[in-house]
């Protein structure tokens, strides 16, 4: 979404307050105009991250998200409105539309697509930093491996309950995520937004640290590596804070031994439970053609089987014989609500959308 045609030059006072911050200064502020950032996930973390980067004048911000706006998002996912939730708009598109009104000088590129092993390299092409706005560890492990493979820094963030976490990873300088968390925890071992909830300010706090780290790396790249591996943790309810320096593990299977397990396309297949949604995302069994899925033809095929709503970029279907609701996107993905069993979700997808 390129809005740079509205004005040839930004107003001279737009960025004056951040230019007055001595560590950034006029030189660092000017550098931001030519920088390119990728934000993976436009929910609680990603919506804050996008707001900070766009308003700071980072030249190109690519927003990647697979989901749509829900009513339960509104208490912590800034920029979204009740109208966005009522229409069930894709998060990346809705966020880009709102932020374009805040800064017409930034090229905001919304991508309504799943970030997985098949799509990650293409979605990250040309980007100079990756920011984690996701809500699951497999995506973060994938970002970690992509960062190492492409030699691009990335910023981890997390928010659960009243806790906020942030950590910068710079390839070749300090640890990677697998040095901190070697393996995926067993199911149920960690608290999730379903079990512990999320305090809205915790998401804002985590994203604030993430955005500050990203701006530091983009404006002063020679200084960014000095911040790598500093793990910031906050508890907002009782105002506790800690910073720990994490070291690289020479035996780390990813940065030490060079194993890229999650960047293998095989990891991008299947189905995944969406945090806090009571829903499952199902990916197509094989990549769709460059033209994508023909949603119009699918709508015609499904009309005899239930209620169909086709909005051009997505299709919603409520089967007459099942309580689930399927939201199908042009790339072949589907989010199936009112179901949490991965096998059942996959079966519904195969039944109504096809393999």
Record the tokens describing residue 101, joined without a space.
């009104």
Same domain, 177 and 71: yes
Instruction: For residue 34, tell me if it sits in a domain.
Output: yes
Q: Are 52 and 61 in contact (CB under 8 A)?
A: no
* Three-class SS state of 235: strand
Instruction: For residue 254, tell me if it sits in a domain.
Output: no
Same domain, 105 and 171: yes
Residue 205 DSSP label:
H
Same domain, 206 and 277: no
Q: Whole domain around residue 305: which residue ranges?
A: 269-352
Residue 265 has pLDDT above 90, yes or no: no
Same domain, 140 and 54: yes
Q: Which residues contact 68 (CB under 8 A, 6 or more apart)?
A: 88, 89, 90, 91, 314, 327, 335
**pLDDT at site 188:** 44
Which residues does the annotation mark as catalytic? 193
Same domain, 204 and 282: no
Same domain, 79 and 156: yes
Same domain, 196 and 305: no
Query: What's the rounded Cα separation, in Å, for the pair 128 and 58?
Result: 11
Same domain, 127 and 60: yes
Instruction: For residue 81, tell me if it sits in a domain.
Output: yes
Query: What's the rounded Cα separation, in Å, for the pair 103 and 127?
Result: 20
Phi, psi of 176 (to 5 degrees): -115, 175
Q: Give the highest mean pLDDT range of 101-110, 268-277, 306-315.
A: 101-110
Instruction: Kindly report the number of other CB atoms within 10 A of residue 118's CB atom.
Output: 15
Q: What is the CATH number of the domain that holds 282?
A: 3.30.310.10
Instruction: For residue 257, tell me if it sits in a domain.
Output: no
**pLDDT at site 196:** 67
Residue 343 has pLDDT above 80, yes or no: no
Instruction: For residue 277, tell me if it sits in a domain.
Output: yes
Query: What's the rounded Cα separation, in Å, for the pair 301 and 305?
Result: 8
Residue from 350, 353, 326 nearest 337 by CA: 326
Same domain, 227 and 275: no
Same domain, 241 and 282: no
Mean pLDDT, the chain, whole residue set: 87
Domain boundary among 198, 229, 245: 245
Same domain, 239 and 284: no
- Is residue 267 very low, low, confident or very high in pLDDT (cuts 50, 70, 90)? very low
Summarised one tens digit per residue, pLDDT across range 155-204 is: 999 998 999 999 999 999 999 999 999 887 654 445 566 556 788 899 99
Record the tokens describing residue 95, joined without a space.
């966020």
Q: What is the CATH number of the domain that holds 215?
A: 3.40.50.720
Query: What's the rounded Cα separation, in Å, for the pair 93 and 63?
Result: 8
Instruction: For residue 250, tell me if it sits in a domain.
Output: no
Instruction: For residue 7, tell me if it sits in a domain.
Output: no
Domain boundary among 245, 260, 291: 245
> How many domains are there within the chain?
2
Cβ burial, residue 9 (10 Å; 0-12/13-18/19+): exposed
Record the tokens describing residue 103, joined without a space.
């800064």
**pLDDT at site 47:** 96
**pLDDT at site 166:** 97
Q: Give the highest mean pLDDT range of 40-49, 282-291, 313-322.
A: 40-49
**Strand order across the 325-329 sheet:** 271-274, 279-282, 334-337, 325-329, 314-319, 306-310
Instruction: For residue 69, tell me if it sits in a domain.
Output: yes
Q: Between 94 and 284, name the one with better pLDDT.
A: 94
Same domain, 318 and 176: no
């Amino acid at each position: 979404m390129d809005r740079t045609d509205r004005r040839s030059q930004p107003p001279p006072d737009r960025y004056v307050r951040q230019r007055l911050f001595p560590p950034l200064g006029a030189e660092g502020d000017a550098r931001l105009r030519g920088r390119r950032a990728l934000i993976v996930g436009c929910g609680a973390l990603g919506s804050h991250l996008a707001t900070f980067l766009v308003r700071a004048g980072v030249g190109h911000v690519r927003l990647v998200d697979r989901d749509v706006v829900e009513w339960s998002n509104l208490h912590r996912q800034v920029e979204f409105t009740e109208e966005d939730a009522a229409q069930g708009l894709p998060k990346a598109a809705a966020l880009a539309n709102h932020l374009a009104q805040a800064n017409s000088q930034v090229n905001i590129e919304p991508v309504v697509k799943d970030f997985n092993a098949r799509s990650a390299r293409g979605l990250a092409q040309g980007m100079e930093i990756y920011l984690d706005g996701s809500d699951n560890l497999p995506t973060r492990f994938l970002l970690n491996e992509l960062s190492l493979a492409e030699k691009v820094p990335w910023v981890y963030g997390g928010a659960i309950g009243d806790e906020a976490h942030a950590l910068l990873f710079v390839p070749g300088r300090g640890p990677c995520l697998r040095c901190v968390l070697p393996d995926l925890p067993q199911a149920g071992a960690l608290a999730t937004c379903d079990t512990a909830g999320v305090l809205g300010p915790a998401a804002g706090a985590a994203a604030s640290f993430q955005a500050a780290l990203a701006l530091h790396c983009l404006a002063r790249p020679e200084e960014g590596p000095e911040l790598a591996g500093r793990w910031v943790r906050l508890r907002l309810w009782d105002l506790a804070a800690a910073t720990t320096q994490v070291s690289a593990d020479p035996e780390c299977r990813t940065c030490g031994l060079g194993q890229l397990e999650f960047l293998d396309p095989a990891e991008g297949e299947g189905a995944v439970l969406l945090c806090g949604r009571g829903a499952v995302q199902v990916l197509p069994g094989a990549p769709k053609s460059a033209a994508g899925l023909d949603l119009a033809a699918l709508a015609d095929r499904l009309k005899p089987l239930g209620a169909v709503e086709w909005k051009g970029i997505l299709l919603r279907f409520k089967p007459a014989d099942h309580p689930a609701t399927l939201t199908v996107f042009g790339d072949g993905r589907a989010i199936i609500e009112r179901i949490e069993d991965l096998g059942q979700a996959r079966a519904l997808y195969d039944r109504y959308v096809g393999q």
